[in-house]
Chain A
Amino acid sequence: MWIRRLEVTHCAGIAAAGIDFSPGLNVLHGPNELGKSSLVAAIRAALLLQTSATAADTLRDWNSVESPTVGLTFEQQPGRIWRVRKTFARSGNAYLDFSKDGEVFATESKGREVDGTLQTMLRWGIEPPGGRGGRRGLPSSLISTALLGEQSDVVAILDQSLANDASTSGRDQLTEALQALAEDPRFKQVVDAVQEKVDEAFTATGRKRTGRGSPWANLREQRENAAARERDIRQRVDESAGVRSHVEALGAQLFDARAEALRLTTTLAHRRQRDAAGQRLRVAEGELEAVETALAQLAQNQQAVAKARERATELEAAHATLAEALETTTPEVAAARDQLRELESGADEQQRRLREQEAENGRLILTQERATHERMVADAKGVASIEAGIQAAVRQVETLLGTLAEKRELLKQGRAATEQDRDKLAELELERATARYVAAQDALEAAKADRDAARTMAAKADDLDRQAAALRDEATSLNAPDDIEYERLRNAETDWRLAEAKRSVGFVTEVTSASAADASAEVDGEAQALHLTAGEPMELEADQELKLDVADLVTLHVRGGGRDLLAQARAAQELWQAASQPVFGRTGCTTLDELAALCKRATALIEEAAELGRRADAARQHADNLDPLEQRVVTETANRKRMRDALAEFLDDGEAVAELIASVEGPRSDQAAIADEISTLERGVRERERLCDRMDNDIEASARELEGQRRDLATERARLADEAERVGDWRLLLAGADAEGARLDQEIRAVEADLNAIRTQATAEVEAARQALDSLIKREASEQQALRDKADALARIRTELARLEGETGPLGINAEGKDVDAARAERDQARDALAAIPLADNVNDVDALAGDADRAERLVATLESDRRKAEGALEQMGGQYLDEQRQQVEDAVKALETREHELEMDYGAWRLLRDILADAEQTGAAHLGNALVEPVSRRIGALTGGRYGDVSIGSQLDANGIQLGGGERAFDRLSVGTQEQIALLLRVAIAEALGTFVVLDDQLTQSDAGRMAWIRELLAETAQNIQVVVLTCHPDDYRIGDNRHVVDLTQCVTRSDAPTVADVPDRSDRQPRRRQRTLPESDHSGDDPAAALRESLARRES
């Protein structure tokens, strides 16, 4: 995309301007205040600003009442030319025209649609009008800042990030562009292969393919068929199993029913036998019981009469004894009552009550004395407590003083350790810089060695190529036939030989001459001389041909085989000769074997040449890396220089780097270890400084606490003096308190003992008399009750005896003539007969049992019939045969499931791989910065002579800083000029990636001549690919060859006189840069700084 033309009227100090651009480098120059920045603002407004936006006020020309207008023509791609026309006012208008040739335009959209279409087309990360999250003012994004950066903030791009864009379109466009730059061909090869596998099985929407070529197709059909068959068989198996179960159930039922019928029938018979035997037993038992009852009643009556007589005698004796005892007890009771009355009314009792009153009074007085003593002791203890408190406070103050001194000493140690560590850190930094320099030196040497090896391999490859070419030339010079030609010759020769062989029929000719004669013969081409003897036959044997010439007599020529065979042989021979002569002619061979040897040699030469070619390729493969290795040598050289520069910072005046390296004792090469050591040391220093600060605060707090405690101590001492004065000699009182208390307690206990003795003496005499009386009264009542009980019992036993004696006569008559043994024998016989019959359980109703037995018989018959029917049905259904069928189809389904699982897994794995590749690709692409690091860093390195390392660009193209001296440095810590140069390089890199224009408005004002020259070359090179528009007041700075398009703006711009708002830099929305790297805080969070500092020092020591 490039800008073709810009037209402006009444815009920010410009009355009118019209400028044509070219696709490459455009240098627009003019003096200050001409309105160069206004032109850039106009381009920005044409592409980004709505006509009615408030931000358009900055374009207004205060010398005119007309509304600003801007016309911008740009070519998106060849044959797609757009023209934007905007008039900025409250009711402004906008048009977007399209043209294929740049001459004839047609309006594509107008009004608010223009901006929407533009943003969709540009994809700069700016939300189209009406979108959510739109910002007030001139819309901006990372791309707009890169391509149309403001003169007032040339380094704005260093503060930008795609994350701040209103729309993702800019990010998407950059992702596509940078990804295309960064895509690895091997990765693409892998992705294509994986996608091809995924496409075999899945559609674009992720569904399984269903077509004929799909791997699932056959399997699915087979599975469906198998599943259908399985369902069918399973249903039949279920039915069969149902019938089988039915047969089995019927069999079980039949077995049960037969058993039940048999049981019922047997039970019924037994029951009937038992009923008869039981009846007989009951009769015998009744008779036996009647005999036994009569005899027992008589014996029982006789025993009862004897016992009643004996009991009556005993009761009469006891009644007499009790009457005698009662006569003694009654007089004793009367005497006891008289003694008690006498004790309660005597003079001794009055005297005892007076002594009791005196003892009580003495006890009260002693109790009061004891209470007074206890109060005085409590006051004395209070004073003693105050004094103890004061002593504790004094000890605490002393402890605090000790702790404070200890902390101050600890703080001193901590500070001293920190100073030592700082010195050590400086040494380590030097060591690290040395190690880096040495490593860079080694890497450079290694790179040079690799490069030299690659150069050697390249030379070797050329040499091998030459040898291979010589061998190939030699092979060509042999003129050997190729395999096909040789095979053709061999076939022709074989055909000829076969044709000749067919003629070899073999024959014997017998020649008999009438007279002796000499003859000559040619047998199969071999000449022989013969002598024929008269009358003697001579046999001549040949395979193919015989010529016999008897001189002057006869010539005989015999040929084997027919004419056809002869013709075939000759034709074959002609063919062989026609085919072989040219080859033999050019090769000098005379036989096929010679020709074969020649072919073999030619083949060997070609194979040897191929081998040499392969070795040359292998050597060249090694040499292929020559260019990167050369580049690596350059890079490593620059790196070594950077390391040397970094090391130079440690040099003392007049000291050389070599001297410095030599001064480092035993330099270490393990940079990571040094870095770890530095990091550890830095952490320790930071932590210790923090702890020292905390310790300082802690010491101050402790001092304040000590002062407070001293004040409290003085107050307590004053209170002690007041209390001692009030209580008197409290120490003496406390010393004798226990003895006085004990004395009072002893006196109280003595008085109380006297009182108790007086009271006890009176109660004992009266109580003893009263208890003696009560005892006598109780004994008298008891004896009277016992006498009455005995009289009643005697009367009852006499009545019972009379009744028993009256019954004895009838019972004797009833028992007369009874035989108990005979009755018992009868009963035992009946019982044995019953026991011999088996017992039937729980049978109450014999008729019901008979009915049950009948029903069981009928059930057996029914079940037998049902089972026969069910067995017949089972035979028809299949039974075990179906089980086998089911097993087969289940195996099939299982196998198909396994195969389907296998396919699922295999293609699932392909799909998973595809997805993860896509994620990884997306993640890689998501870090857009990585794609720009290399080109930008390379140019920065070249610009600064290797002083700086890689630039750090984040995933959202947010530039973070740059490597310098082994560490990352924030941009704002670089010089302004360097910042401007880095910003320019980043902007150019973005424009190159997008293949679009970039406008540089007085970008490089702080660059020295050397860097300016380098940048000129860069812009010239860049302008071969993209449009670069430079606005400057120093056109001489951009004198680069003849391919630039130079525009003298004084000839194109008509300026109004007033200054414009657009030229006033607006820093309102600039974000302050915060690039200071802050060291991470230590995670030590203990509350005791002294312990933490002690621990830190101990760690340092270890």
Chain B
Amino acid sequence: MALTVLHTADWHLGRRFPGFDRDQELRLTRARLDVVGRILDLAESRNVDAVLCAGDLFDQPTPPEEWWGGVLREFERRDWQRPVVLLPGNHDPLTPNSLYHAAHPFRARLPGYVHVVDAKGWELSVGENAVVFATPCTSHAGQTDLAASLPQREHGDDRIRVGLVHGQTFDIEGHQTNFPIARGTAADRGLDYLAIGDTHTFRDVEPGAAAPTVYPGAPEATNFGERGTGNVALVFFPLDRRRRAIVQPETVGSWTWREETCTSISALRAVRADPDLRRTVLRLTLDMEVPMSEYDEAERILDELAGSMAATPRVGVLDVHRQGLRLATGAPIEFDTALPDVLKVTVEQLRLRAETEPELAGRALHHLYRLARDTA
């Protein structure tokens, strides 16, 4: 191989997950920093010639120090010669206040092998026979095709030419395209590979083209519904430039985002039995009407999945939607026969109430069920 490059993008360091509780949010935000170390380790183990980071490495242009400090530590603990190129994306654009600005301590403390794309038509030679061209985002939004600003191949230039920009290749009617990238740009600009970032899914945008245009996707997913996340792209350029560069996704992410809807207690039991939930962000929706014994079991399974002060959670991050868990109040509720009369009256009143307020009264019945059992 003439050249091997690791292409990554969309780390979104510093992204918050306020929809989860504090501990779970911390787990997810820390995961984003952990994956940076794994990416750099992979680059080292595969002995790549360069690491290209195609934008949105931070979730905002001025993230708190804990985030850029963490990245600095990862860079500082490596004594590398291979260049690492950081490209500002639309989330972390190159602005006078951003961390990519020369006056920012992050930029100032970056090791020499880490380069920041800080100008239109930026250029970096990699070895003797390859060159990277890049143009940064300078705002959160824009209609400019940044790839169009990359220089075209001049006659007689036989180097491996790699383009690096951040933007969107799709053009859907009614959808706002941010920093659009036109189809055929790689061929038009005389590039051997166009490394782009923005979309969180790994995708070879033009599989039939002579020069690949690739989104590596986010190394850790940021939301439910994202598919093909958790990868970086390893790009192998043949010695003979007439052959297409080989692009291979490599998994670096450790978290899985998963949505499950349980319509029966057996489905919920199956979720509990899954051994691979410790590194899973699970959105669990319950939609079932069950008798009290199963209602109680469902509550216990939810407790088990969520964990407690005394028990380790079975699920890494759990988001439960349990409004659909309904008590089948028509079925008899098996309280013990020695229940005091006043509690029997309470049970009957709650069952009546359940006809108009099923969720509230169902829960109250369950509370009573547990208390009655505990005090029996």
Query: A residues engaging B (CB < 8 A)?
Result: 184, 186-187, 189-190, 193-194, 197, 218, 222, 225-226, 240, 244, 247, 871, 874-883, 888-889, 891-892, 894-896, 898-899, 901-902, 905-906, 908-910, 912-913, 916-917, 919-921, 923-924
Inter-chain contacts of B343 with A (CB < 8 A): 186-187, 190, 917, 920
Cross-interface CB contact of A878 among B141, B319, B372, cutoff 8 Å: B141
A912–B361 touching, CB < 8 Å: yes
Most buried by B among A184, A190, A921: A190
Inter-chain contacts of A895 with B (CB < 8 A): 18-20, 319
Cross-interface CB contact of B176 among A244, A920, A924, cutoff 8 Å: A244
Name which residue of chain A comes closest to B56, CB basis: A881
User: Can you identify 30 A-B contacts, CB atoms within 8 angstroms?
Assistant: A186-B343, A189-B371, A190-B371, A193-B374, A225-B18, A874-B142, A875-B140, A879-B176, A881-B140, A881-B178, A888-B16, A891-B223, A894-B19, A896-B18, A898-B321, A898-B323, A899-B21, A901-B323, A906-B363, A909-B361, A909-B363, A909-B364, A912-B360, A912-B364, A916-B364, A917-B342, A917-B346, A920-B345, A920-B349, A923-B345
B322 at the interface (CB under 8 A from A): yes
B367 at the interface (CB under 8 A from A): yes
Cross-interface CB contact of B367 among A878, A902, A913, cutoff 8 Å: A913
Docked complex Cα distance between A880 and B140 (Å): 8
Name which residue of chain B comes closest to A882, CB basis: B140
Q: In the assembled complex, how far is the CB of residue A910 from the closest CB belonging to chain B, in whole angstroms?
A: 6
List residues of B (241-261) whose CB comes within 8 Å of A's CBs: none
A924–B341 touching, CB < 8 Å: yes
A194–B18 touching, CB < 8 Å: no
B178–A194 touching, CB < 8 Å: no
Docked complex Cα distance between A240 and B141 (Å): 10
Interface string of B339-363 (1 = CB under 8 A from A): 0111101100110010001011111
Q: In the assembled complex, how far is the CB of residue A799 from the closest CB belonging to chain B, in whole angstroms?
A: 84
B7 at the interface (CB under 8 A from A): no
Inter-chain contacts of B15 with A (CB < 8 A): 888
The 10 A-B pairs of least Cβ separation, nearest first, read A879-B141, A895-B19, A909-B363, A881-B140, A892-B18, A878-B140, A875-B139, A909-B364, A184-B340, A880-B178
Most buried by B among A184, A225, A878, A913: A913
Docked complex Cα distance between A812 and B43 (Å): 113
Given contact pairs A194-B371, A905-B363, A916-B346, a sample of 11 additional A-B residue pairs in the complex whose CB atoms are under 8 Å apart: A190-B368, A244-B176, A874-B142, A874-B143, A875-B141, A878-B140, A888-B15, A892-B17, A913-B367, A916-B349, A916-B353
Docked complex Cα distance between A894 and B363 (Å): 22
Docked complex Cα distance between A193 and B369 (Å): 13
Interface string of B127-147 (1 = CB under 8 A from A): 000000000001111110000
B350–A916 touching, CB < 8 Å: yes
Name which residue of chain A comes closest to B223, CB basis: A891
Q: How many A-B residue pairs have CB under 8 A?
A: 131
Q: In the assembled complex, how far is the CB of residue B299 from the closest CB belonging to chain A, in whole angstroms?
A: 11
B143–A924 touching, CB < 8 Å: no
Given known A-B contacts A891-B19, A902-B322, A913-B364, A187 and B141 have beta carbons under 8 A apart? no
Name which residue of chain A comes closest to B339, CB basis: A186
Name which residue of chain B comes closest to A184, CB basis: B340
Q: In the assembled complex, how far is the CB of residue A243 from the closest CB belonging to chain B, in whole angstroms?
A: 9
Interface string of B1-31 (1 = CB under 8 A from A): 0000000000000011111111000000000
Given known A-B contacts A187-B343, A902-B322, A913 and B178 have beta carbons under 8 A apart? no
Given known A-B contacts A194-B371, A881-B90, A874 and B346 have beta carbons under 8 A apart? no
B91 at the interface (CB under 8 A from A): yes
Docked complex Cα distance between A767 and B281 (Å): 121
A190–B140 touching, CB < 8 Å: no
A924–B342 touching, CB < 8 Å: yes
Inter-chain contacts of B321 with A (CB < 8 A): 898
Inter-chain contacts of B346 with A (CB < 8 A): 913, 916-917, 920
Q: In the assembled complex, how far is the CB of residue B340 from the closest CB belonging to chain A, in whole angstroms?
A: 4
Docked complex Cα distance between A881 and B60 (Å): 10
B364–A193 touching, CB < 8 Å: no
Docked complex Cα distance between A247 and B21 (Å): 40
Inter-chain contacts of A917 with B (CB < 8 A): 342-343, 346
B375 at the interface (CB under 8 A from A): yes
Docked complex Cα distance between A208 and B368 (Å): 22
Given known A-B contacts A902-B322, A910-B364, A921 and B342 have beta carbons under 8 A apart? yes
Docked complex Cα distance between A1003 and B300 (Å): 63
Interface string of B185-209 (1 = CB under 8 A from A): 0000000000000000000000000
A905–B18 touching, CB < 8 Å: no
Interface string of B318-343 (1 = CB under 8 A from A): 01111100000000000000001111
Q: In the assembled complex, how far is the CB of residue B13 from the closest CB belonging to chain A, in whole angstroms?
A: 15
Name which residue of chain A comes closest to B175, CB basis: A880
B140–A877 touching, CB < 8 Å: yes
